Structure 1
Amino acid sequence: MKNGSNHQSIVESLREYNLKKNIKEQLKIINPLLGKKETDIKVHLMHALATGVMTKSELDFLEVKMALGRMCLELEQVLDNVYIAILFYDSEHNNVFHGAGPSIPVEYSDFYNVINEQGMFDENCCSCGRAIYTQEVVQTDIGTSTLWTKFRDSVIEYGFKSCTSIPFFTDTGRLAGTFGFLSKRPNNYLTRDEVEMIQEKVSMFSFEIQTISDRIHEYTEVGNGRLTI
């Protein structure tokens, strides 16, 4: 995609966002551009703010999502054959929310919506459910682990065959969610050194993690169960 086309896509996406306020749709355009240095997304976001397409609060939140997306891309460059998805956890309603996953189709996040709507999230809900409930690193083979029995077909549809889930926390000590490291190879697990490297990297994004975790906490406190982040 040429740089001019990138700019046009961002502008069109921002206009669409102004109509629907759908961050998920916005990320469909922005995610593929996060790793492209020649695309100055910031310029277009500031123009959107100046022209009233989005508010300062919306802009700040989108930039937080973009920062987490870039972190995922940086980790994917140094890890072998993994695709990263960040899930945030709402302990009040036992729901999970998409945080970032720039290399994974945005539609994959619909999987989490089904889990929330049907009240299926528990310690036996995939690697991430077990990681959240035990607050420990969990590694599973999607094709054989009983944790994936109810969800195996939905995930294999995207080609994923193994998953490592690493829980993470806010600066205040609240369980914030889990990182899912998905691989298209069976039994492709992370080493202890890789897990420690990831945890150190995550600590550098404490502001972004705290921001999204606080947003979820604030929304759920007032009973907004339809939060989309």
Structure 2
Amino acid sequence: MKKRSNHHSIVESLQEYNLKKNIKEQLKIINPLLGKKETDIKVHLKNALANGVITKREMDFLEIKIELGRMCLELEEALESVYVTLLFYDRERNKVFHGAAPSIPVEFFDFFSMINEQGILDENCASCGRAIYTQEVVQTDIGTSTLWTKFKESILEYGFRSCTSIPFYTQTGRLAGTFGHYSNRPNNRLTQDEVEMIQEKVSMFSFEIQTISDRIHEYTQVGNVRLTI
């Protein structure tokens, strides 16, 4: 993760850009390229910047999304028919920030905007809400679990039938967020060995996790910014 971004930029960008149409359109192009040549993405971003499709600040934000997306892809490579998403958690304001989900349609996580705006994130709010509040691995069948009651219909429309949420932490032990593992199979639960393997892989991203989590934590101490996804 690039150190040159100041501690304001990540939170401001997550707030401002995640729901912007042009950012979504860029992610639709970039996400399929993440597992291919890095030069393809660099050329695309430079062209998008030169043509005025994105600003320099938006390009910096997309570069952060790219790094986070590669984390998700690395986890997906170790599992079969599982789609990984990354969420960061702001404990001070009880908000969630969508970090990445390169194999999932970009519109899928718009519902987190509603969760933040309505302030309904709690232990009964989907798999990730339960994982955040209990700090435990949570595995659910989306069609039958009460945790998904408020969101079930829209999630099922995307073909997802089960979800495993695994909390992850900073190097100092502070809860940083969750990795959500979605499957199109009902009751597709990960084994204990698979969960431990994922946790071990996540530990390899400790620097990136610490960097972003610290910036979120530091920025929210300001107390005068309304945060959404």
CA contact (8 A) 1:64 1:208 kept: no
Q: For residues 27 and 147 of structure 1, what CA distance do their matches in structure 2 show?
A: 29
Q: For residues 205 and 24 of structure 2, what CA distance do their matches in structure 1 show?
A: 21
Q: Tell me, which stretches of 5 or more residues in structure 2 are unaligned?
A: 1-16
2:225 alignment counterpart: 224
Farther off after superposition, 143-152 or 176-185 = 143-152
Q: TM-score, normalization: structure 2?
A: 0.80
Q: For residues 133 and 181 of structure 2, what CA distance do their matches in structure 1 show?
A: 17
**For the structure 1 residues 84 and 178, does the alpha-carbon distance in structure 2 shift closer, same or farther, using more than 3 Å as the test?**
same
Amino acid aligned to 1:91: R
Farther off after superposition, 31-40 or 70-79 = 31-40
1:13 alignment counterpart: none
Q: Secondary structure at the match of 1:40?
A: helix
**For the structure 1 residues 38 and 171, does the alpha-carbon distance in structure 2 shift closer, same or farther, using more than 3 Å as the test?**
closer
**For the structure 1 residues 227 and 127, does the alpha-carbon distance in structure 2 shift closer, same or farther, using more than 3 Å as the test?**
closer
User: What displacement does 1:31 show?
Assistant: 1.1
CA contact (8 A) 2:113 2:228 kept: no
Pair 1:100 & 2:118 matched: no
CA contact (8 A) 1:33 1:39 kept: no
Q: Deviations over 1:157-214 (max 9, x none)?
A: 2111101000001112211100100111000011111111111111111122122222
CA contact (8 A) 1:139 1:189 kept: yes
2:130 alignment counterpart: 130
Q: Secondary structure at the match of 2:87?
A: strand
Q: For residues 159 and 136 of structure 2, what CA distance do their matches in structure 1 show?
A: 25
1:120 alignment counterpart: 120
User: What displacement does 1:103 show?
Assistant: 0.5
1:6 alignment counterpart: none
Mapping for residues 1-229 of structure 1, pairs under 5 Å: 23-37=23-37, 39-43=39-43, 45=45, 48=49, 53-55=55-57, 61-222=61-222, 223-226=224-227, 228=229
Q: Secondary structure at the match of 1:122?
A: coil
CA contact (8 A) 2:176 2:209 kept: yes
Amino acid aligned to 2:99: G
Q: For residues 80 and 137 of structure 1, what CA distance do their matches in structure 2 show?
A: 19
Q: For residues 75 and 162 of structure 1, what CA distance do their matches in structure 2 show?
A: 17
Q: For residues 24 and 204 of structure 1, what CA distance do their matches in structure 2 show?
A: 28
CA contact (8 A) 1:68 1:205 kept: no
**For the structure 1 residues 54 and 60, does the alpha-carbon distance in structure 2 shift closer, same or farther, using more than 3 Å as the test?**
closer
Q: TM-score, normalization: structure 1?
A: 0.80
Q: For residues 227 and 150 of structure 1, what CA distance do their matches in structure 2 show?
A: 19
Count of residues in Structure 1 that have an aligned counterpart in Structure 2: 207
Q: For residues 157 and 127 of structure 2, what CA distance do their matches in structure 1 show?
A: 17
Q: Deviations over 1:100-158 (max 9, x none)?
A: 10001111120111111111100000111110001010101111111111111121121
Q: Which runs of 4+ in 1 moved over 6 A?
A: none
Q: For residues 167 and 95 of structure 2, what CA distance do their matches in structure 1 show?
A: 15
Structure of higher RCO (CA pairs closer than 8 Å, 6+ residues apart): 2
**For the structure 1 residues 23 and 206, does the alpha-carbon distance in structure 2 shift closer, same or farther, using more than 3 Å as the test?**
farther
Q: For residues 95 and 227 of structure 1, what CA distance do their matches in structure 2 show?
A: 7
How many percent identity over aligned positions?
75
Q: For residues 183 and 55 of structure 2, what CA distance do their matches in structure 1 show?
A: 37
Q: Tell me, which stretches of 5 or more residues in structure 1 are unaligned?
A: 1-16
Amino acid aligned to 1:118: Q
User: What displacement does 1:35 show?
Assistant: 1.3
